[in-house]
Amino acid sequence: MLELLFLLLPVAAGYGWVMGRNSARQAQQKHSSILAKHYYRGLNFLLSDEPDKAVDTLIKMIDLDSDTVETHIAMGKFFRHRGELDRAIRVHQNLVSKEQISALQRESALYELGRDYILAGFLERAENAFLQLLNSKNHFLNAQVQLFNIYQTTKEWPRAIELAEQMIGAGGDSDELCLRVAHFYCEQASIEIKDNHFIEAEANLQKAIVADEKAVRPWLLSGEIAMRQQKYNHAIDCLMEIPSRDVSWLSEAVPLIEECAEQLQDHTKLNKVLDEYWQQCATAYLAKVKLMAKDGEIANAAEVLLEQLKKHPTMKGFKTLMGLYVDLQDHEQSTNSLLLLKELVEEQIKQRPKYKCHSCGFAGSKIHWLCPSCKKWGVVRPIKGLDGE
């Protein structure tokens, strides 16, 4: 009898293992059945245009299985894409609050929640979300970009500068980052210039120059500060730095140098700039022609301008040429015709944009250092060609 019991022990163990396995399989099948049931219910609510009930159903599922987290993140993004930001926020907030999901999943949900907040206009909440992600290995770059966008929107330039300096200190000294931080310093300097805080503005402009040695904006602003303080020689020296860094911005510097030269009644430095760069843009060669006409060389000025227009025709050049011809013209009827044509061209010039974004094509009549369309720094430049320089 005892031997029979020993023989039955392996059989009993095997039977117990089989029954336990079947029980686990049944529990798993039951669990999967519950999940499938909730998914079908959620899908049915969506198809029936009952998104509130769909969101409630999906949120309940998080308590059942954390494997569905990615699906919920995608569902939240779907709601955001449809403009249903309150529902997107509910889904992503619920994910962030769950303890059973992994750290990586929580970071992904937090990033999407921050994007929800931005679109909903809750910028302070969005900032808090992205600040938490600065230590994330997978999301810190995107979090930095989003924080920059927030600070640009709210014009919190000191905070933007602080973030940029932290990134540079951590080894992120890319050209894009240096360009961005230089503009941040210039934005802060512009505010200080308006408040007549010139010392603080000049300090920030020096930092901008150090951050991006190719930047022209700090030199333009330095010239503006010097002109407001009637330091015209210093203003010209600042403005003369521009073409050596980016000659395409010479068109912005020349009119200011002309104004300084008139205040000083000394055109020496202006002539020096024009002798080197006068063929680089319409504004420069028109300044040279004006000086010639001012010295009484109207016919010679018209001839020089005509030759330049044959090489690089511009509407501004044609307008100036017609003005010179008016001064040379003796016949009253011809003079009136030229004046009328000159006015028409001038009106056409006023209606045309002066600046264009090289990234997205946005065009306007004012300088935008931050493109209003693509939100990139330093991509808007003076237009070249017939309608520009």
What CATH number corresponds to the domain at position 147? 1.25.40.10
Summarize pLDDT for 123-160 with one digit per residue, the tens.
999 999 999 998 888 898 899 889 988 998 899 999 99
Give the type of residue at 7: L
- Three-state SS letters, the chain: CHHHHHHHHHHHHHHHHHHHHHHHHHHHHHHHHHHHHHHHHHHHHHHCCCHHHHHHHHHHHHCCCHHHHHHHHHHHHHHHHCCCHHHHHHHHHHHHHCCCCCHHHHHHHHHHHHHHHHHHCCHHHHHHHHHHCCCCCCCHHHHHHHHHHHHHHHCCHHHHHHHHHHHHHCCCCCHHHHHHHHHHHHHHHHHHHHCCCHHHHHHHHHHHHHHCCCCCHHHHHHHHHHHHCCCHHHHHHHHCCHHHHCHHHHHHHHHHHHHHHHHHCCCHHHHHHHHHHCCCCHHHHHHHHHHHHHCCCHHHHHHHHHHHHHHCCCHHHHHHHHHHHHHHCCCHHHHHHHHHHHHHHHHHHHHCCCEEECCCCCEECCCCCECCCCCCECCEEECCCCCCC
59 domain-assigned: yes
The pLDDT value recorded for residue 314 is 84
The pLDDT value recorded for residue 25 is 53
Summarize pLDDT for 180-209 with one digit per residue, the tens.
899 999 999 999 999 999 999 999 999 999
Instruction: Give backbone dihedrals phi and psi of 202, rounded to 5 degrees, phi first.
Output: -65, -35
119 domain-assigned: yes
C-beta separation of 305 from 285 below 8 A: yes
Greatest mean pLDDT among 74-78, 266-270, 332-336, 339-343: 266-270
122 domain-assigned: yes
Distance CA 121, CA 86 (A): 12
C-beta separation of 388 from 354 below 8 A: yes
235 domain-assigned: no
If you average pLDDT over residues 82-99, what whole number do you get? 88
208 domain-assigned: no
Structurally, the chain folds into a number of domains equal to 1
60 domain-assigned: yes
9 compared with 379, residue with greater pLDDT:
379
Q: To the nearest whole percent, how much of the chain has pLDDT over 90?
A: 40
- pLDDT of 24 > 50? The answer is no
92 domain-assigned: yes
The pLDDT value recorded for residue 172 is 59
162 domain-assigned: no
The pLDDT value recorded for residue 11 is 41
- pLDDT of 35 > 50? The answer is no
Lowest mean pLDDT among 96-110, 214-228, 251-265: 96-110
C-beta separation of 300 from 288 below 8 A: no
If you average pLDDT over residues 90-99, what whole number do you get? 88
Q: Which domain holds residue 87?
A: 28-154
